[in-house]
Amino acid sequence: MSVRTELLKKAKRRLRRRRHIRNRIFGTPEKPRLSVVRSHQHIYCQLVDDLAGRTLASASTRDKEVRDQLGSFGGNCGAAAAVGKAIAERMKAAGVTVAQFDRNGYRFHGRVKALAEAAREAGIKL
């Protein structure tokens, strides 16, 4: 089996997990969905109200405020923790303290876990 085939299988499994997660999680104005997406170099998250179909707040390692704290590379656990703190501050500014955590099919470890724990430490209930 080639490397490309293995990567495609891995991506299909993640998308399948993502569908199952999204069937259970639905963001409301009182309890929006905190969605996380990670790439090799960056991590992104946004607070989504699925009823209205709009984003309430977002943060990523590409944001200027977060990037100034990090330096250059945004693909590690420290960067994910900085994004978690940033999204928590923006959530509080939007008047939200409770959210549903949508890990988007990723395993809850490493960068995804660091982002969630940093948001919890900043006072957000996930």
* pLDDT tens by residue, 110-119: 999 999 999 9
Instruction: Provide the token pair at 26.
Output: 């639905």
Amino acid occupying residue 8: L
Helix (H) or strand (E) holding 86: helix 77-93
pTM of the model: 0.91
Side by side, which strands form the sheet with 100-102?
A: 54-60, 43-49, 33-38, 100-102
Query: pLDDT tens, 11-64?
Result: 999 999 999 999 999 999 999 999 999 999 999 999 999 999 999 999 999 999
| 125: pLDDT strictly greater than 80 | yes
CATH code: domain 3-121 is 3.30.420.100
Among candidate residues 41, 36, 40, 34, the one with its CA nearest the CA of residue 94? 34
